[in-house]
């Protein structure tokens, strides 16, 4: 996502894109093995359903990201134009953050909302790119958690989006938002 949004930021220079990299985290479901992850999860269902999330690790990361979002928002002259985004679990975390912080939009690819944050309203429009052949966040599983999204594009692709031009989708969405702001 970083390379995609580096190019997009050239077209939208007054916007700020928050796409942080997850830290290495010990994962209980994998016997404490450290892997890049936004939060610890206690079960791994292999895409059959949502994994059981450790709410304490989720809260800790959320608090750190709220500070980052505040700092990035402070850099915007009119406090508008901040976009949260991410791919896979990063998109899921961006959506979780979008229930706590105000931003212009949340853009995600092959991600969905955590069921424990669905009861909280999103504070911005959500634009999602989902893959019909995704075996990590299956479309049929994710669909019910996508209620309230501003736009969803389903592509004939896998979780890794090898056949999809992700940048075109996001650039079109963000240019539309920029026109609305003008």
Tokens of 56: 């304490």
Residue 119: CB partners within 8 Å, gap ≥ 6?
none
Helix (H, G, I), strand (E, B) or coil at 84: strand
Beta strands in 39-164 (DSSP E): 82-87, 105-109, 126-131, 151-155
Torsion angles phi and psi, residue 92, rounded to 5: -60, -40
| Portion of the chain with pLDDT greater than 70, in percent | 95
Nearest partner of 24 among 2, 47, 57, 52, judged by Cα: 57
**Which residue is associated with the tokens 């939060």?**
39
Contact 40, 25 (CB under 8 A): yes
CATH assignment at residue 56: 3.40.50.1820
The number of domains in the chain is 1
pLDDT band at 99 (very low <50, low <70, confident <90, very high): very high
Which helix (H) or strand (E) segment holds residue 10: the answer is helix 2-11
Domain of residue 107: give its range. 2-181
Please state the rounded mean pLDDT for residues 60-84.
92
Q: Looking at residue 153, what is its pLDDT?
A: 86
Note if the pTM is more than 0.95.
Answer: no
Comparing 65-79, 87-101, 147-161, the range with the smallest average pLDDT is 147-161
Contact 12, 178 (CB under 8 A): yes
């Amino acid at each position: 996502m970083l390379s995609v949004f580096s190019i997009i930021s050239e077209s939208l220079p007054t916007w700020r894109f928050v796409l942080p990299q997850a830290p290495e985290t010990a994962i209980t479901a994998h016997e404490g093995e450290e892997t890049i992850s936004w939060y610890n999860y206690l079960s791994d269902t292999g895409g059959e359903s949502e994994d059981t999330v450790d709410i304490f690790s989720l809260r800790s990361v959320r608090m750190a990201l709220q500070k980052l979002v505040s700092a990035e928002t402070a850099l915007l002259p009119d406090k508008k134009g901040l976009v949260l985004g991410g791919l896979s679990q990063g998109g899921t975390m961006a959506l979780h953050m979008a229930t706590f912080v105000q931003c212009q939009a949340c853009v995600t690819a092959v991600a969905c909302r955590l069921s424990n944050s669905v009861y909280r309203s999103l504070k911005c429009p959500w634009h999602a790119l989902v893959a019909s052949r995704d075996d990590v966040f299956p479309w049929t599983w994710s669909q019910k958690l996508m209620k309230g999204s501003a736009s969803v594009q389903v592509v004939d692709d896998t979780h890794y989006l090898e056949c999809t031009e992700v940048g075109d989708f996001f650039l079109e969405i963000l240019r539309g938002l920029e026109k609305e702001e003008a």
